[in-house]
Amino acid sequence: MAAASLPPAAPVTLSAEVRLGYVLKHFRLAYPDCPDVRIGYADAQPQVEIAAGSGDFFAGNTPYPAAPNWREWLGRQVPFFFDDAPSTPLLLFQENKVIIAADIIAAAFYLLSGWQEYFSTERDRHRRFPYAASVQKQYDFVTLPVVNYYFDVLKTAVEYVSGRPLRPRRWGQQQANFAAFISHDIDNLRSAWKAPTKAAFQQRQFGLFGKLLWQHFTQPDAWDNLEDVAAATAQYGARSTFFILPTHGRASDGTPNADYPHSIQLLQRLHKLSEAGCEINLHGSIGTALDEWQLGYENGLLERVGLSGGLRFHYLRWDARRTFAVLSESDFVFDSTLCFAEHFGFRHSYCLPFYPFDFTSERATDFLEIPLNVMDATLHHPNYLRLAPEEILPALTPVFAEIKRFGGVASVLWHNENFDPNNTQTGPRQFHEIMRHLQQQGAAFQTGREIWEAYTAEPAAPTHNS
Ligand SMILES: [Zn+2]
């Protein structure tokens, strides 16, 4: 399979009001106690005035804006796109009014909406938008949640005109500073024996080869470990969210789906895990990101175990031009597919859940995206990063610190096969290091459904300032 190229997408006609509304919706979700302050461009005579800087960019179909201007904020160098006045101070405080010199609404819309993915014609061999084609890669900011920094600028302005401090979202009963979402894609339950048995044969260690074959036929596979995975996560007071792949064998393009058949016994085990507080969701097989019928059929196969309404696509397959239409025909309430497979961090430069923008219907989606920040396979894989085991937690610590700073969700995917003690690169030891760190940092461990419920709970009515 080679990298693919798409035809250019036709331009869309998005008004500045639509972009502003989309961004402010997310700002108010990030700061739920935000008072009712008027924020906008000069023509609306707002209290927080944004300098318009996007020109006719959003009337076109180019994937990338002009290079950003870098400004310091909260001690970080932050890229500001659509910043027409680089030598002007970012904030101009007037009586009862603040002017923001960079168009942070346009820049936040650009990153959060996924504009670059929709208009880019580049796709990798799995037909995903490649990290190599992203502005995050081009300007090296994939580990910085830039939209949260823009929101912090906006928060400072709102605090000035309202005279009230704003507090980021809090999570769970303990009102924690951030949440952690621990999930497991179940691609393999039966293949732990394959690699060591093949290696023993190739190295002509026939005694070992025979022993491994005997074990394979007489003992459960080391990857058939769903209950052990749930127990490992439970050590931290967390509950696992599982994504189950009900399609077995290879897809028509040769990509493997599950190595295990869909069976009554598996459904019974999943039902027990669900009763014990774990969460069971669909891991959509190859092709389901383009096919609402197949997606609905697969979800139906799991229905009796008590599903939680979540979804992640196998191989993180996602078509930025078609998957929204597929999901709009379905009942999923949240998805957790969106990350760069090639690098940990923030694909939409945002560390909270968000509603992706559907450019075909020109509105925010109904389902909530809980973006993925860390996938085990990214950390040590010949195609991605090649971190040594002791480099993993130090590499991730700054990412978790950014998430904590802004009240976000640290979303970690650890496949069940990587709980095999024979995996010393991205295995149980590295998983436990990450979990201990998140616990020490005070994360509220939440399942996908709990995050969705907290995010969609009726907000308190905005308080008017006098
Ligand atoms: Zn998968």
How many angstroms separate the CA atoms of 281 and 239, rounded?
13
pLDDT at res. 465: 43
Is 209 inside any structural domain? no
**Are 319 and 412 members of one domain?**
yes
pLDDT at res. 4: 77
- CA 282 to ligand 1 centroid distance, Å: 10
Q: How confident is the model at residue 269 (pLDDT cuts 50, 70, 90)?
A: very high
Q: Give the 3-state secondary structure percentages of the chain, helix then strand then coil, rounded to 5.
A: 40, 15, 45
- CA 185 to ligand 1 centroid distance, Å: 5
Is 287 inside any structural domain? yes
H-helix or E-strand spanning residue 4: strand 4-5
pLDDT at res. 2: 62
- CA 186 to ligand 1 centroid distance, Å: 6
Neighbours of ion ligand 1 (CB under 5 A): 185, 187, 314
How many angstroms separate the CA atoms of 188 and 209, rounded?
22
> Would you tell me the crossing angle of helices 194-202 and 206-218 to the nearest 10 degrees?
160
**Are 282 and 413 members of one domain?**
yes
Query: Which structural domain range is residue 63 located in?
Result: 4-162
Sign of CA dihedral 449, 450, 451, 456: positive
Query: Which whole number is the average pLDDT over 268-292?
Result: 95
Query: Which whole number is the average pLDDT over 292-316?
Result: 93
Per-residue pLDDT reduced to its tens digit, 354-377: 999 999 999 999 999 999 999 999
Is 10 inside any structural domain? yes
More confident residue, 366 or 380: 366
- CA 238 to ligand 1 centroid distance, Å: 22
pLDDT at res. 210: 84
How many independent structural domains does the chain possess? 2
Q: How confident is the model at residue 1 (pLDDT cuts 50, 70, 90)?
A: low
* Backbone angle region of 174, left / alpha / beta, with phi > 0 → left and psi within -120 to 50 → alpha: alpha
Q: How confident is the model at residue 466 (pLDDT cuts 50, 70, 90)?
A: very low
**Are 282 and 417 members of one domain?**
yes
- Residue 435, pLDDT above cutoff 80: yes
- CA 369 to ligand 1 centroid distance, Å: 17
Is 202 inside any structural domain? no
User: CA 353, 327, 302 angle in degrees (round to 5)?
Assistant: 95
- CA 259 to ligand 1 centroid distance, Å: 11
Is 394 inside any structural domain? yes
Is 204 inside any structural domain? no
Q: How confident is the model at residue 278 (pLDDT cuts 50, 70, 90)?
A: very high
Per-residue pLDDT reduced to its tens digit, 70-93: 999 999 999 999 999 999 999 999
pLDDT at res. 28: 96
**Are 391 and 257 members of one domain?**
yes
**Is the separation of the CB atoms in 387 and 189 below 8 Å?**
no
pLDDT at res. 426: 92
- CA 187 to ligand 1 centroid distance, Å: 5
How many angstroms separate the CA atoms of 466 and 464, rounded?
6
Is 195 inside any structural domain? no
- CA 98 to ligand 1 centroid distance, Å: 47
pLDDT at res. 457: 87
pLDDT at res. 460: 52
Residues in CB range of 461: below 8 A, 6 or more apart:
none
Query: Which whole number is the average pLDDT over 266-273?
Result: 95
**Are 69 and 135 members of one domain?**
yes
**Are 38 and 112 members of one domain?**
yes
- CA 381 to ligand 1 centroid distance, Å: 15
- Residue 462, pLDDT above cutoff 70: no
pLDDT at res. 10: 93
**Are 264 and 375 members of one domain?**
yes
> Would you tell me the crossing angle of helices 428-440 and 226-234 to the nearest 10 degrees?
30
Q: How confident is the model at residue 190 (pLDDT cuts 50, 70, 90)?
A: confident
**Are 185 and 103 members of one domain?**
no
**Are 241 and 375 members of one domain?**
yes
Query: Which whole number is the average pLDDT over 300-312?
Result: 92
Coil/strand/helix, residue 69: strand
Q: What is the CATH number of the domain that holds 403?
A: 3.20.20.370
Is 205 inside any structural domain? no
**Are 250 and 109 members of one domain?**
no
- CA 308 to ligand 1 centroid distance, Å: 18
Query: Which whole number is the average pLDDT over 280-308?
Result: 93
Per-residue pLDDT reduced to its tens digit, 100-128: 999 999 999 999 999 999 999 999 988 89
- Nearest 5°: phi and psi at 71? -130, 155
Residue type at 393 in one-letter notation: L
Per-residue pLDDT reduced to its tens digit, 398-430: 999 999 999 999 999 999 999 999 899 999 999
**Are 103 and 228 members of one domain?**
no
- CA 286 to ligand 1 centroid distance, Å: 9
Query: Which whole number is the average pLDDT over 324-353?
Result: 95
In this structure, the number of other CB atoms found within 10 A of the CB of residue 393 comes to: 15
Average pLDDT, the chain: 93
**Are 128 and 241 members of one domain?**
no
DSSP per-residue letters across 239-294: --EEEE---BSB-TTS-B-BSS---HHHHHHHHHHHHTT-EEEEEEPTTGGG-HHH
How many angstroms separate the CA atoms of 416 and 231, rounded?
12
Q: How confident is the model at residue 459 (pLDDT cuts 50, 70, 90)?
A: low
